[in-house]
Amino acid sequence: MQTLRDTLLVFDNQVRFTFRNRITIVLGLVQPVLYLVLFGPLLTKVGGMGGDGDTWQTFVPGVLVYLALFGAGFCGFGIISDVRSGVIERLRVTPVSRFALLMGRVGREIAILLTQSVIIVAVGVLLGLRAGVLGILAAVVLVVLLGTALASLSLALGVALKSEDQFAPLLTSAALPIMLLAGILLPMSLAPTWLDVLSRLNPLRYVVEAIRDLFAGHYATAAVLEGTLVSVALAAVCVAVGTRTFARENA
Amino acid sequence: MNMIEVHGLARTFQAPHGEVNAVRGVDFTVAAGEIVGFLGPNGAGKTTTLRMLTTLLRPTAGTATVAGADLLADPVGVRRRIGYVAQGGGANPAELVANELMLQARLYGMSKADARTQIDSLAAQLGLQDLRTRLVGSLSGGQRRRLDIALGLVHRPPLIFLDEPSTGLDPTSRSNLWEHIRRLRDELGATVFLSTHYLDEADALCDRILIMDSGTILVEDSPEELKRRVEGDAVTIEVAPGTVQEAAVVVEGLPGTYGLTTAGDTLRFRAGHSSRTMIDLLRALEARRVEPVSVQVDRPTLDDVFLTLTGRSEEPATAGAV
Residue A49: pLDDT over 80: no
Contact residues on chain A for B51, CB-CB shorter than 8 A: 251
In three-state secondary structure terms, B93 is coil
Looking at residue B311, its pLDDT comes to: 66
Q: What is the mean pLDDT of residues B27-56?
A: 93
Residue A57: pLDDT over 50: yes
Looking at residue B321, its pLDDT comes to: 36
* Minimum distance, in Å, between the CA of residue B309 and any CA atom of chain A: 29
Which has more confidence, A75 or B316? A75
Give the list of residues 6+ apart from residue B121 with CB closer than 8 angstroms, or none. none
| Contact (CB<8Å) B103/A82 | no
Contact residues on chain A for B88, CB-CB shorter than 8 A: 85-86
User: Is B134 in CB contact (< 8 Å) with chain A?
Assistant: no
Rounded to whole angstroms, how far apart are CA atoms B79 and B56? 10
Contact residues on chain A for B13, CB-CB shorter than 8 A: 251
Strand-pairing partners, residue B136, are none
Altogether, the residues listed in chain B come to a count of 322
Strands B208-213 and B35-39: parallel
| Contact (CB<8Å) A17/B76 | no
pLDDT tier at B314, thresholds 50, 70, 90: low
* Cβ within 8 Å of A, B 179-198: none
Looking at residue A250, its pLDDT comes to: 55
In DSSP notation, A117-150 reads: HHHHHHHHHHHT----HHHHHHHHHHHHHHHHHH
A50-64, B105-119, B240-254, B265-279: least confidently modelled range: A50-64
| Contact (CB<8Å) A9/B107 | yes
Residue B322: pLDDT over 70: no
Task: Give pLDDT tens digits for B250-290.
Answer: 888 888 888 888 888 999 888 877 777 888 888 888 888 88
Residue B49: pLDDT over 60: yes
pLDDT tier at A187, thresholds 50, 70, 90: confident
Rounded to whole angstroms, how far apart are CA atoms A116 and A60? 12
Q: How large is the angle between the packed helices A222-247 and A98-127, nearest 10 degrees?
A: 140
Looking at residue A41, its pLDDT comes to: 84
Residue B93: pLDDT over 60: yes
Looking at residue B187, its pLDDT comes to: 87
Q: In chain A, what is the straight-line distance between the N-terminal and C-terminal CA atoms, in Å?
A: 31
Contact A112, A26 (CB under 8 A): no
* Dihedral pair phi/psi, residue B6, rounded to 5°: -120, 130
Altogether, the residues listed in chain A come to a count of 251
Rounded to whole angstroms, how far apart are CA atoms A172 and A76? 12
Contact residues on chain A for B107, CB-CB shorter than 8 A: 6, 9-10, 91, 94-96
Sheet containing strand B233-239, strands side by side: B257-263, B266-271, B233-239, B292-298
Which of B55, B95, B109 is opposite residue A93, by nearest beta carbon?
A: B55
User: Is B260 in CB contact (< 8 Å) with chain A?
Assistant: no
Give percent above pLDDT 70 in chain A: 96
Q: What is the mean pLDDT of residues A162-176?
A: 93
The C-alpha angle B206, B211, B213, rounded to 5 degrees, equals 150
Q: What is the mean pLDDT of residues B32-54?
A: 92
Looking at residue B312, its pLDDT comes to: 62
A31-35, A58-62, B190-194: least confidently modelled range: A31-35
Average pLDDT over chain B, rounded to an integer: 89
Residue A206: pLDDT over 80: yes
Looking at residue B1, its pLDDT comes to: 79
Q: Can you say whether the dihedral through the CA atoms of B186, B187, B191, B193 is positive or negative?
A: negative
Q: How large is the angle between the packed helices A98-127 and A52-70, nearest 10 degrees?
A: 160
Rounded to whole angstroms, how far apart are CA atoms B240 and B259? 21
* Cβ within 8 Å of A, B 11-40: 13
Rounded to whole angstroms, how far apart are CA atoms B118 and B313? 43
| Contact (CB<8Å) B56/A86 | no
pLDDT tier at A51, thresholds 50, 70, 90: very low
| Contact (CB<8Å) B79/A95 | yes
Residue B122: pLDDT over 80: yes
Residue A53: pLDDT over 70: no
Nearest chain A residue to B80 by CA distance is A95
Rounded to whole angstroms, how far apart are CA atoms B222 and A247? 37
CA atoms within 13 A on the CB side of B203: 15
B10-14, B44-48, B122-126, B168-172: least confidently modelled range: B168-172
Torsion of CA B66, B70, B72, B77, to 10 degrees: -80
Contact residues on chain A for B90, CB-CB shorter than 8 A: 85-87, 89-91
| Contact (CB<8Å) B56/A249 | yes
Q: What is the mean pLDDT of residues A49-77?
A: 84
Q: What is the mean pLDDT of residues A68-97?
A: 94
Residue A117: pLDDT over 50: yes
* Cβ within 8 Å of B, A 167-226: none
Residue B32: pLDDT over 60: yes
Torsion of CA A215, A220, A223, A228, to 10 degrees: 90
* Minimum distance, in Å, between the CA of residue A244 and any CA atom of chain B: 14
Give percent above pLDDT 70 in chain B: 96
Rounded to whole angstroms, how far apart are CA atoms B169 and B175? 9
| Contact (CB<8Å) A86/B80 | no
In DSSP notation, B149-202 reads: HHHHHTT--SEEEEESTTTT--HHHHHHHHHHHHHHHHHH--EEEEEES-HHHH
Q: What is the mean pLDDT of residues B79-98?
A: 94
Nearest chain A residue to B84 by CA distance is A93
Contact residues on chain A for B94, CB-CB shorter than 8 A: 17, 81
Give the list of residues 6+ apart from residue A167 with CB closer than 8 angstroms, or none. A76, A77, A80, A157, A158, A161
Average pLDDT over chain A, rounded to an integer: 90
Q: What is the mean pLDDT of residues A235-251?
A: 87
Give percent above pLDDT 90 in chain B: 54
Residue B318: pLDDT over 50: no
Q: What is the ipTM of this complex?
A: 0.87
User: Is A95 in CB contact (< 8 Å) with chain B?
Assistant: yes
In three-state secondary structure terms, B94 is coil
Looking at residue B319, its pLDDT comes to: 38
Contact B122, B15 (CB under 8 A): no
| Contact (CB<8Å) B107/A6 | yes
* Cβ within 8 Å of A, B 73-112: 76, 79-80, 82, 84, 86, 88-95, 99, 103-104, 106-109
Q: What is the mean pLDDT of residues A147-157?
A: 97
Task: Give pLDDT tens digits for B193-225.
Answer: 999 988 889 989 999 999 998 899 999 999 888
Q: What is the mean pLDDT of residues A119-126?
A: 92
- Listed residue (A219, A244, A29) closest to A142, CA to CA: A219
Which of B48, B82, B90 is opposite residue A90, by nearest beta carbon?
A: B90
A-to-B residue pairs, Cβ atoms closer than 8 angstroms: 65
B25: left (phi over 0), alpha (psi -120 to 50) or beta: left
| Contact (CB<8Å) B90/A89 | yes
Q: Which of A79, A93, A96, A98 to substitute to test the interface with B, most B CBs within 10 Å?
A: A93
pTM over 0.80: yes
Residue A212: pLDDT over 50: yes
Which of A16, A81, A93 is opposite residue B84, by nearest beta carbon?
A: A93
Task: Give pLDDT tens digits for B164-200.
Answer: 998 878 888 888 889 989 998 998 899 999 999 888 8
* Dihedral pair phi/psi, residue B290, rounded to 5°: -100, 125
Contact A217, A130 (CB under 8 A): no
Looking at residue B313, its pLDDT comes to: 57
